Chains A and B, each alone.
Chain A
């Protein structure tokens, strides 16, 4: 479903990604972790073409992301993305946040869009907040709306960039629960996160990045029981101390 082959990216002389390769099969859940600045966000943004890259190839559902002829908007419409800071549109009500792209991008009628939107709000437990504005919701609620917004586009896969790291601790689980549910339904997911509990529960594989390289790409059992690289070991021990 997602195939990343030898991708490199640099800003001027600074190499952000070096020769990264990874495969994600349909229905797989991949967790990406690594120290700050290691290029996790950059890699995941390359997958839907939000960040350009200079070398290598990324193919999503048979479509090459780096190809200048690719209609990126069309591709992105079917690749859901959830951000660290939610990035809901603050000037629109929750339900409008869910409907706008359905209407303007997918061409659904307003009624259809609202119906789909309300169903997803119900699923994330926020149907009663439909008419509120993002600024009136807690962080956890906003992130659940953001997930619902991405799901409203009927994505073939979902990308998450540290979806819980901007949240107060007591709100982390409400968001993770939604994500676990998605994973169990068979959604293909790439998740940048340091929530190792989530990884243990639903991940198929864990990718560990450091200094722009994919240092380790292993089934989760192997990753947690016997990580090969020293840096991954160090990283894990640090995280567990928290």
Chain B
């Protein structure tokens, strides 16, 4: 194969002029981080509540949470994304749908991708939260209630602090996944990292450099997330508890 390596391509100016190809990648990186982080925060909140709902003695709440998890885990991410982007604006009340369609395209893509990633990941977080709660002995729940805590207080002070510590490792991998999954948003035109890499190929035909650069950036995200989560795990570790923290 006579491929022409050209690493200087990143410093070359793009056709539009205002920036370099490296600038494209970096702006893609920014979008990837922004959409993933905002989705992650929503996913944590949704997953926490739904995970708790799955374990409370209330048929309605646990039913809602079960349906949520099953629906969002059994449909492809891409289909969910297209439904958020193409279907939701049509099904919402006309005024809201039109308002959505009139904002700038980048924001439309960003919001659809964020909601999609958030609820998709939320279903997985929910299952982690549930299994974390179930891994604690029922005695902890009894102990909280016996002290006079209400059920919400029992969750807040007795159950969740331990359950969350237990699920930190699997949450780390969900956190990593959300960054990877965000690349799917390139299919609706969101110019995140993978899309910028693709665009670079289209413009310069330097496929290998582009893919290597994008891969390195994704790996860098991985490293940062893992270091961060290890720090959190270390801080959350409970003295005297070998397994549980």
Which chain A residue lies CB-closest to B240?
A: A135
Contact indicator A87/B137 (Cβ below 8 Å): yes
Beyond A90-B244, A91-B165, whether A83 also contacts B148 by CB under 8 A is no
Contact indicator B165/A89 (Cβ below 8 Å): no
Within 8 A of B (CB), among A133-166: 133-137, 149-150, 153
Contact indicator B148/A100 (Cβ below 8 Å): no
**Which residues of chain A are near B162, meaning CB under 8 Å?**
89-91
* CA A104 to CA B152, docked complex, whole Å: 12
**Which residues of chain A are near B153, meaning CB under 8 Å?**
104-105
Min CB distance A66 to B, Å, is 16
**Which residues of chain B are near A83, meaning CB under 8 Å?**
139, 142-143
**Which residues of chain B are near A149, meaning CB under 8 Å?**
147
B146 at the interface (CB under 8 A from A): yes
Contact of B146 among A81, A132, A134, A136 (CB under 8 A): A81
Instruction: Bits for A60-95, please: 1 = Cβ < 8 Å to B, else 0.
Output: 000000000000111011111101110111110000
Contact indicator A90/B238 (Cβ below 8 Å): yes
B145 at the interface (CB under 8 A from A): yes
B161 at the interface (CB under 8 A from A): yes
Contact indicator B241/A135 (Cβ below 8 Å): yes
**Which residues of chain A are near B244, meaning CB under 8 Å?**
90, 135
* CA A50 to CA B233, docked complex, whole Å: 33
B245 at the interface (CB under 8 A from A): yes
Which chain B residue lies CB-closest to A159?
A: B146
**Which residues of chain B are near A76, meaning CB under 8 Å?**
145-148
Contact indicator B146/A74 (Cβ below 8 Å): no
**Which residues of chain A are near B242, meaning CB under 8 Å?**
135
A5 at the interface (CB under 8 A from B): no
Min CB distance A40 to B, Å, is 15
B149 at the interface (CB under 8 A from A): yes
B93 at the interface (CB under 8 A from A): no
Beyond A89-B158, A149-B147, whether A135 also contacts B140 by CB under 8 A is no
Contact indicator A133/B238 (Cβ below 8 Å): yes
A45 at the interface (CB under 8 A from B): yes
Contact indicator A91/B238 (Cβ below 8 Å): yes
A188 at the interface (CB under 8 A from B): no
Q: Could you tell me which A residues sit within 8 Å of B by CB distance?
A: 45, 48, 50, 72-74, 76-81, 83-85, 87-91, 100-101, 104-106, 132-137, 149-150, 153
